[in-house]
Chains A and B, each alone.
Chain A
C-alpha cells in the first residue's frame, strides 16, 4: 500500500459517501461498544477492535457504528463488548478475542443470532434506556 495522503483519504470518503446515499439503509444501524479500560486493553481489546473492522469490511457490512468506552467494571471477563442490533436484545459479551469478534459479526450482526457461549449479561430492561 502506497502512503496515503489526507487528500486521498478525503476523496475515498467522498466516494463511500456517494455509495451510501444511493443505498437504502433503512436508517437503523447496529452498534458495537468496546470496553477500552486498562484491563480491556491488557486483555486484547485492540485486537478485538481490529478483528471487528476486518470482518465487517470483508463481509461488506455497512451501517455499523463502533464506539469505545472506558472501564465497564467487568475486568474478569475482559475484553468486554456490548452489541446492539435493532430488533434484538442488547447483549454484553465477555472474553472477546479476535476469533469471538469475528463470530459476533457473522452470527449476531449478519445472522441475527446471539453468540450464546460468550454472553456475559443481558442487562435488565430498566437499566438500559
Chain B
C-alpha cells in the first residue's frame, strides 16, 4: 500500500497514461483545512460496467500484472477516503476521458503523509509517454503551474541525468517558494 499522498497521485496519473491519454491535467491544492486533488485525462475512459468494477479492490484489467490480479490504485484512493472521512469520485465517459477528484482533511490523523511532490512531479514529467501533462499546484493560495511541454522545450532530452537534476532543482525551487511563508 502507498505510504504517501504523492505516491497515490503518481499512481492515478499513471492510470491516465495507461489509458493512452495525450492530455493530462493534475491539480493539487492545499489549504489548512483541505487537500483538493483533480486528475483529468482525455484517455480511453471507462464504460459504466468497468467503472463499477474499477472501484472493486479485487479488480485490475488482468493484463498488466502477471502475478497479481488486484489493482492497487483506485481501491487505495477509496479506502483512504473512507478511513479519513474524505471524498473521492470518478467521472468517466468511454472514448472521452476520465476525471478523478478527491478532497481530504489534512488534519485527519489517519491520513497518510503528503510526501515528496518534487520527485512525484519529476517522475511523472519524465515517464516515457507521448502526451502532455500540466501541473497546477498551490499551497494556501500561492501557486505555480508547469507543463511537460514547457519542460521539454527548455531541457530537451528528459532521460539525460544532468537534465533530470536540473528539472529536480527547478521543481524543488517552485515547491520551496510556495511552502515558505
Contacts and interface: CB of A to CB of B under 8 A. Distances in A.
Interface of A: 1-4, 6, 9-10, 12-13, 16, 20, 36-39, 41-42, 44, 46-47, 49-50, 53, 56-57, 61-68, 70-71, 73, 75
A49 B122 contact: yes
A60 to B, nearest CB: 10
Contacts of B159: 65-67
Contact of A71 (B2, B65, B128): B65
B67 A41 contact: no
B5 to A, nearest CB: 12
A82 B58 CA distance: 30
29 contacts: A1-B172, A1-B173, A3-B144, A6-B150, A10-B154, A12-B166, A16-B163, A16-B166, A36-B127, A37-B64, A38-B71, A41-B2, A41-B7, A42-B72, A46-B10, A46-B119, A49-B119, A49-B123, A50-B119, A53-B165, A56-B165, A62-B162, A65-B160, A66-B164, A67-B159, A68-B123, A68-B128, A73-B65, A75-B67
B84 interface: no
Contacts of A41: 2, 7, 10-11
B73 interface: yes
B124 to A, nearest CB: 9
Contacts of B66: 73
Given A3-B177, A37-B65, A41-B10, A57 B165 contact: yes
Given A3-B177, A46-B123, A71 B10 contact: no
Given A56-B161, A64-B161, 13 more contacts: A3-B174, A4-B169, A6-B153, A9-B151, A9-B166, A36-B10, A38-B71, A38-B72, A57-B161, A57-B165, A65-B159, A65-B161, A71-B64
A61 B150 contact: no
Interface string B112-154: 0000100110110011100000000000000010000011011
A46 B169 contact: no
Contacts of B151: 9
B164 A53 contact: yes
